[in-house]
């Protein structure tokens, strides 16, 4: 079946450090890939997405590139802030969009802690 593997956390960084959170996947079919963020006490929020190979998703300074050859979708940010402290989830979906059948698959999440 489909699966998503994320690096285990917590990842602890100082403010303005460079961030990389690794994500690799296995999927039957051609997936769309997503990064979600969950702040303490809140639900998940879509951070960015990519729907085909070599696409780069970006939002709020975060970036991730869909690498089909390495089945990866690593999350990066050049300079993290304390407010970026949260749990980050990599996810995939194979199948059609509206009206289609799909089962979303999530990684286990990576906790990021940013110190001032």
Partner 1 sequence: KAGVTQTPRYLIKTRGQQVTLSCSPISGHRSVSWYQQTPGQGLQFLFEYFSETQRNKGNFPGRFSGRQFSNSRSEMNVSTLELGDSALYLCASSLGAGGLDEQFFGPGTRLTVL
Pick the piece of the chain touching partner 1 (CB under 8 A) from 13-21, 34-42, 67-75, 76-84: 34-42
State the Cα–Cα distance between residues 25 and 18, nearest whole angstrom: 23
Using alpha carbons, select from 71, 77, 41 the residue that is nearest to residue 57.
Answer: 77
Out of 10, 12, 16, 46, point to the residue binding partner 1 (CB under 8 A).
46
| Residue number, 6 or 84, with CB nearest to partner 1 | 6
State the Cα–Cα distance between residues 16 and 13, nearest whole angstrom: 8
Q: Across the chain, which distance is largest between two alpha carbons, in Å?
A: 46
107 lines the binding site for partner 1 (CB under 8 A)? yes
**Chain contacts with partner 1 (rule: CB under 8 A):** 32, 34, 36, 41-46, 49, 89, 91, 93, 95, 97-109
């Amino acid at each position: 079946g489909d699966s998503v593997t994320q690096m285990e956390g917590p990842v602890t960084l100082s403010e303005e450090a460079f961030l990389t959170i690794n994500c690799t996947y296995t999927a039957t079919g051609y997936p769309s890939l997503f990064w979600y963020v969950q702040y303490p006490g809140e639900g998940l929020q879509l951070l960015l997405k990519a729907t085909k190979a070599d696409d780069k998703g970006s939002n709020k300074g975060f970036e991730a590139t869909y690498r089909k050859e390495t089945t990866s979708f690593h999350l990066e940010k050049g300079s993290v802030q304390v407010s970026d402290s949260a749990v980050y989830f990599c996810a995939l979906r194979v199948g059609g969009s509206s009206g289609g059948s799909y089962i979303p698959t999530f990684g286990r999440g990576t906790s990021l802690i940013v110190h001032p």
